Amino acid sequence: MPANNLQQIREALMMSKAELARKSGLSTLTIDRVEAGRPCRLDTKRKILQALELRVDDHDRVFGPAPSLGAAGEDALTGA
C-alpha cells in the first residue's frame, strides 16, 4: 500500500512520471521515491504540488497527513 496518493493523483491527471518530473524540475527517480513513500524535502513537495497545479492546502490529500511529533517531540520543542 502506498504511503501517499501521489501516483493515483498523477495517473488521474493522465500524467506520466517523466512529465511530472519535467514540469516539477525533479528527476524521475525522485518522483519514484516520493510515490513509494520515502521522505523528501518540503521544497520537493512544493514543486510537485505546483506541477500538478494544486495548492498547498492539498498537501495532506496528496502526501498524507504529516507525522505527529508525539510527547517526546513536544518536550524537545518546548523544553518541558
pLDDT tens-digit map of 55-69: 999 999 999 887 766
pLDDT tens-digit map of 21-36: 999 999 999 999 999 9
Domain tally, the chain = 1
The answer to whether residue 67 sits within a structural domain is yes
The answer to whether residue 44 sits within a structural domain is yes
Separation CA 29–CA 16 (nearest Å): 13
DSSP letter for 67, please.
Answer: P
The answer to whether residue 64 sits within a structural domain is yes
Residue pointed to by grid coordinates 506520466: 16
Q: Burial, 14: exposed, middle or buried (Cβ in 10 Å; 0-12, 13-18, 19+)?
A: exposed
The answer to whether residue 21 sits within a structural domain is yes
Please report, for the domain that includes residue 19, its CATH number: 1.10.260.40
The model scores a pTM over 0.75: yes
Which residue range(s) make up the domain with 62? 6-78
**DSSP, residue by residue, 23-42:** HHT--HHHHHHHHTT----H
Closest CA to 10 of 39, 28, 1: 28
* pLDDT value of position 11: 97
The answer to whether residue 1 sits within a structural domain is no
Residue 13 has pLDDT above 80, yes or no: yes
